[in-house]
């Protein structure tokens, strides 16, 4: 399949394994409008691709995907209708990942934050570089973790731990993430490709439809949870987009200082 028109992703075939490589705006792969648009359509497209059986999602930049782009955040503060316009895209990112039949492996080569963490954790098997960090720091930017974090984190590590990390926004070393079951494996950098290839080989060499449909039925509960939560999650996130604390967080980030939240 010829993937046309993508600005923030590259695609590589290795036999019937398709690598989707995030290659966005800079080494940290921040989520801007282009990346958000393309995340909303890529998973449905790769699921329909007749030339692949297993998908590997990764990046070759310094970060896997390090959360929202500050310039984009400011644009949505200045024009809140822009946030409303991306709500449908935000839902499609989550639902298209959960509706994929093909197995998708995340090769987590670097930091994953916010939406970057969400898309990593919604993959079927996550293999992380032990030096990577993962977390959902939405609250540190003064906004609700509304783009899927509230869906997937509690299912992986339980509500007590999930609420701690979602409410503090703390970033977690990959080794600890593996210990608590947030990711499947944390391996040395030199072993990341070998471990990814090992898992991919098992999936590629297995019974295609048995694997796909086992995944499908396993994801039924996750899809139900997402349908229950995503509208409310995004609505609350849109509300916090209008707060003074969110503007303060963006301003403080740009000025390279700690934010001074007012609670407004």
- Could you tell me which residues come within 8 angstroms of residue 88 by beta carbon, excluding any fewer than 6 positions away? 40
Q: Is 43 domain-assigned?
A: yes
Strand partners, 53: none
Residue-level pLDDT at 107:
98
Look at the chain and report how many structural domains it folds into.
Answer: 1
Residue 111 lies in a domain: yes
Q: Is residue 217 part of a domain?
A: no
Residue 107 in domain: yes
Q: What is the largest CA-CA distance in the chain?
A: 56
Residue 166 confidence (pLDDT): 98
DSSP code, position 141: G
CATH of the domain at 46: 3.90.226.10
Of 28, 29, 23, the residue nearest 10 (C-alpha): 23
Tokens representing residue 57 in the block: 């999602």
> What are the two backbone dihedrals, phi and then psi, of residue 181, each rounded to the nearest 5 degrees?
90, 15
What are the pLDDT tens digits along the chain (264 aa)?
889 899 999 999 999 999 999 999 899 999 999 999 999 999 999 999 999 999 999 998 999 999 889 999 999 999 999 988 899 999 999 999 999 999 999 999 999 999 999 999 999 999 999 999 999 999 999 999 999 999 999 999 999 999 999 999 999 999 999 999 999 999 999 999 999 999 999 999 999 999 999 999 999 999 999 999 999 999 999 999 999 999 999 999 999 999 999 999
**DSSP state letter for 68:** B
Q: Is 199 a member of any domain?
A: yes
78: nearest Cα among 232, 233, 251, 234: 251
Q: Which residues constitute the domain of residue 109? A: 9-210
Q: How crowded is residue 243: how many other Cβ atoms within 10 Å of its Cβ?
A: 17
Task: Flag whether 128 is in a domain.
Answer: yes
| Dist. CA 234–CA 245, nearest whole Å | 17
Look up residue 9 and give its two tokens: 């992703």
pLDDT of residue 162: 98
Give the pLDDT confidence score for residue 109 in this predicted structure.
Answer: 98
> Are the beta carbons of 230 and 91 closer than 8 angstroms?
yes
Is-contact 195 185, C-beta < 8 A? yes
Length of the chain: 264
| Residue 96 placed within a domain | yes
Q: Is residue 40 part of a domain?
A: yes
């Amino acid at each position: 399949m010829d993937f046309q028109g993508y600005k923030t992703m590259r695609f590589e075939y290795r036999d019937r394994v398709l690598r989707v490589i995030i290659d966005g705006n800079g080494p940290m792969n921040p989520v801007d409008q282009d990346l958000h648009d393309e995340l909303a359509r890529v998973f449905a497209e790769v699921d329909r691709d007749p030339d692949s059986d297993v998908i590997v999602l990764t990046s070759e930049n310094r970060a896997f995907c390090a959360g929202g782009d500050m310039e984009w955040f400011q644009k949505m503060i200045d024009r809140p209708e822009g946030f409303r316009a991306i709500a449908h895209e935000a839902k499609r990112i989550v639902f298209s990942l959960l509706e994929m039949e093909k197995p998708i492996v995340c090769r987590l080569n670097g930091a994953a934050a916010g939406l970057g963490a969400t898309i990593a954790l919604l993959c079927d098997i996550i293999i992380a570089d032990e030096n990577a960090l993962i977390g959902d720091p939405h609250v540190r930017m003064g906004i609700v973790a509304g783009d899927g974090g509230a869906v997937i984190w509690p299912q992986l590590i339980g509500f007590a731990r999930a609420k701690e990390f979602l409410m503090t926004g703390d970033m977690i070393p990959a080794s600890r993430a593996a210990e608590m079951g947030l990711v499947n494996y944390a391996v040395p950098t030199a072993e990341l490709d070998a471990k990814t290839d090992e898992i991919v080989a098992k999936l590629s060499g297995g019974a295609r439809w048995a694997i796909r449909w086992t995944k499908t039925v396993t994801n039924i509960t996750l899809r139900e949870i997402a349908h229950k939560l995503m509208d409310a999650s995004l609505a609350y996130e849109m509300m916090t987009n209008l707060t003074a604390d969110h503007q303060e967080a963006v301003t403080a980030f740009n000025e390279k200082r700690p934010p001074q939240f007012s609670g407004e």
